[in-house]
């Protein structure tokens, strides 16, 4: 059994970005929305080969009104055969589109809403052992309706929209009644952030160095894939 390393209270707990020499990299499958990549890299005294989903990344938004109600949408997710309650989200699949612009577009397209205040709420990798998908979750406040409703298609054509008190959504998460990862992370983080006076929020245009495709700091999307706007998470 490995001994645990105990740090002092002053130690900063954080993940580390590292780089290993990639000796080969090939796309073994090209899909409509994302690809599968096989890479071999030097590690220790040898080499390791891994296959993973090569993903554009995505953005999501927790929209909260003046009464602390959260906007949720319910739509069909085919791989898991579920209609899930989730927050609006979408792929970073338009070349040159910054994440903030992308999430503002998604809120307008999925919920017919604009927001005056934007902040970074959370960032995470969906499945770091098998995908490079990174998601940034924003908090949107100061909500107003768009001038016109957006014409939705595919799984978004029959979405159900509901406003739910943040505390009620937290309870639904803790009771495992809703399990969409972006929603779970967003509502729990918002619950804690609110208790701390929202001091943990980041600026809406903050760099996103943890996104594998944005580590040069330009903050632009990477894609133009024919996949629509629905995030996989």
Q: Are strands 134-145 and 58-63 parallel, antiparallel or unpaired?
A: parallel
Distance CA 102, CA 91 (A): 8
Is 209 within a domain?
Answer: no
Domain boundaries, position 49: 22-54
Residues 134 and 124 sit within 8 Å (Cβ to Cβ): yes
Q: Is residue 159 domain-shared with residue 87, that is, in the same domain? A: yes
Is 68 within a domain?
Answer: yes
Q: Is residue 112 domain-shared with residue 187, that is, in the same domain? A: yes
Distance CA 143, CA 117 (A): 8
Is 133 within a domain?
Answer: yes
- Whether 92 shows a pLDDT value over 60: the answer reads yes
pLDDT for position 115: 98
pLDDT for position 114: 97
Phi/psi for 8 (5° steps) reads: -80, 160
Q: What angle do CA 72, 74, 79 make, to 5 degrees?
A: 130
Split into its structural domains, the chain has a count of 2
Q: Are strands 35-43 and 46-54 parallel, antiparallel or unpaired?
A: antiparallel
Q: Is residue 37 domain-shared with residue 140, that is, in the same domain? A: no
More confident residue, 142 or 19: 142
Q: Is residue 101 domain-shared with residue 136, that is, in the same domain? A: yes
Q: Is residue 114 domain-shared with residue 36, that is, in the same domain? A: no
CATH assignment at residue 144: 3.90.79.10
Q: Is residue 159 domain-shared with residue 63, that is, in the same domain? A: yes
- Annotated catalytic residues are 156
The reported pTM is 0.86
pLDDT for position 219: 41
Give pLDDT tens digits for 130-169. Answer: 999 999 999 999 999 998 776 656 656 688 999 999 999 9
Phi/psi for 206 (5° steps) reads: -60, 145
Q: Is residue 50 domain-shared with residue 163, that is, in the same domain? A: no
Length reported for the chain: 233
Residues 195 and 187 sit within 8 Å (Cβ to Cβ): no
Q: Is residue 164 domain-shared with residue 89, that is, in the same domain? A: yes
Task: Tally Cβ neighbours within 10 Å of residue 28.
Answer: 10
pLDDT for position 12: 85
């Amino acid at each position: 059994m490995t001994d645990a390393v105990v740090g002092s209270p002053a130690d900063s707990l954080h993940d580390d970005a590292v780089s290993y020499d990639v000796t080969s990299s090939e796309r073994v499958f090209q899909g409509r929305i994302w690809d599968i990549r096989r890479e071999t890299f030097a590690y220790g005294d040898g080499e390791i080969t891994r296959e993973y989903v090569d993903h554009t990344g995505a953005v999501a938004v927790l929209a909260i009104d003046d009464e602390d109600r959260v906007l949720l949408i319910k739509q069909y997710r085919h791989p898991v055969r579920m209609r899930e309650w989730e927050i609006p989200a979408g792929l970073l699949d338009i070349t040159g589109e910054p994440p903030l612009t992308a999430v503002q577009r998604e809120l307008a397209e999925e919920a017919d809403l604009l927001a005056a205040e934007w902040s970074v709420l959370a960032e995470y990798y969906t499945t770091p052992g098998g995908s490079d998908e990174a998601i940034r979750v924003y908090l949107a406040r100061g909500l107003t309706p768009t001038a016109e409703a957006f014409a939705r298609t595919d799984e978004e054509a029959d979405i159900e929209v509901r406003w739910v008190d943040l505390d009620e959504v937290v309870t639904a998460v803790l009771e495992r009644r809703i399990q969409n990862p972006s929603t779970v992370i967003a509502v729990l983080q918002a619950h804690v952030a609110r208790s701390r006076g929202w001091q943990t929020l980041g600026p809406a245009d903050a760099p996103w160095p943890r996104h594998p495709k944005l580590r040069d700091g330009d903050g632009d999307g990477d894609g133009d894939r024919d996949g629509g706007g629905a995030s996989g998470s």
